[in-house]
Amino acid sequence: MKISVEDVRYIAKLSKLNITFEEAQKMVGEFEGILTYFESIDRLDLKDALPDPPDRNGGTVLRKDEISVFEDKEKLFLNAKSMRDSYISVPKIIE
């Protein structure tokens, strides 16, 4: 299927990725190839197929409503680059 550089740039924005115009152009070719390949599934008759996987377990696990505290908060936030008091701090977000 045909897609445009604009489509690719839109998708990049939606995915929060920066791509240059050249990268977008390159991707158009790659995506078109891949998406054309995907068209092989168009030929199939899938009318009656049930999309949801068969549930062998009687529904999703239901956890008892009980509290369990993760004690080591220092370890939990070890990877945060910037904190203030116990908040995570980030550059100001304009709303």
Partner 1 sequence: MSFETVIGLEIHAELNTKSKLFCSCPAEFGAKPNGNTCPVCLGLPGTLPVLNEGAVVLAVKAGLILNCEIMTRSRMDRKNYFYPDLPKAYQTTQYDIPICRNGYVDIGTEELPRRIRLTRIHLEEDAGKLIHLEESDVSLIDYNRAGIPLIEIVTEPDLRSAEEAVAFLKALRSMLEYGGISDCRMERGSLRCDANISLRRAGQNTLNTRVELKNMNSFKELQKALESEEERQRELYSLGEENRIVQETRRWDGAKVKTVPMRSKEDAHDYRYFPEPDLGPVIISDAMIREIRESLPEMPADRKKRFRDLYGLKDKEIDIIVGDKALSEYYEALTARGTDPRAGANWILGSMLKLLKEKGLEAGQIPVPPEELHKLIRIIKEGKISLTAGQEVFSQMFDTGRSAGDIIKEKGLSQISDRMELGRIITGVLDDNPQSLSDYAAGKTQAAVFLMGQIMKATKGRANPQLAREILEEKLKKGLP
Partner 2 sequence: MNIHEMTAMEIRKGITEKQFSATDAVTAFFERICEKEPLIDGFLTLCREEALAKARQIDEKIKAGEPVGKLAGVPVALKDNICTDGIRTTCASRMLQDFIPPYDATVVKKLKEADAVIIGKTNMDEFAMGSSTENSAFKKTKNPWDRERVPGGSSGGSAAVVSAGMAALALGSDTGGSIRQPAAFCGVVGLKPTYGLISRFGLIAFGSSLDQIGPLANNIKDSALALEAIQGEDKKDSTSVRHPVTEDYISTIEKGVKGMRIGVPAEFFHSGLDEEIAFSVKACMQKFEAMGAVVEDISLPKTEEGLSAYYIISSAEASSNLGRFDGLRYGYRTEDFNSFEELVEKSRSEGFGEEVKRRIMLGTFVLSSGYYDAYYSRAQKLRARIREQFAKAFESYDILLSPASPVLPFKIGEKAGNPLEMYLSDIYTVNINLAGLPALSMPCGISRDGLPVGLQIIGPHYGEEKILKAAYALEQELRLTAMRPTL
Q: The tokens 């369990």 sit on which residue?
A: 68
Binding of partner 2 by 57 (CB under 8 A): yes
Give the residue among 46, 64, 55, 3 at the shortest CA–CA distance from 28: 3
18 binds partner 1 (CB under 8 A): no
Please tell me the distance from the alpha carbon of residue 8 to that of residue 26, in angstroms, as a whole number. Answer: 10
Contacts of 36 (CB under 8 A, 6+ apart): 1
Nearer to partner 1, 15 or 40 (CB): 15
Spatial CA neighbour of 6 closest among 19, 16, 81, 41: 19
Pick from 4, 21, 25, 88 the residue near partner 2 by CB under 8 A. 88
Give the interface segment with partner 1, choosing from 19-27, 28-36, 42-50, 77-85 (CB under 8 A).
77-85
Which one of 20-28, 29-37, 40-48, 86-94 is the stretch in contact with partner 1 (CB under 8 A)? 86-94
Which chain residues interact with partner 1 by CB under 8 A?
Answer: 10, 13-14, 16, 52, 55, 57-70, 73, 76-77, 82, 84-95
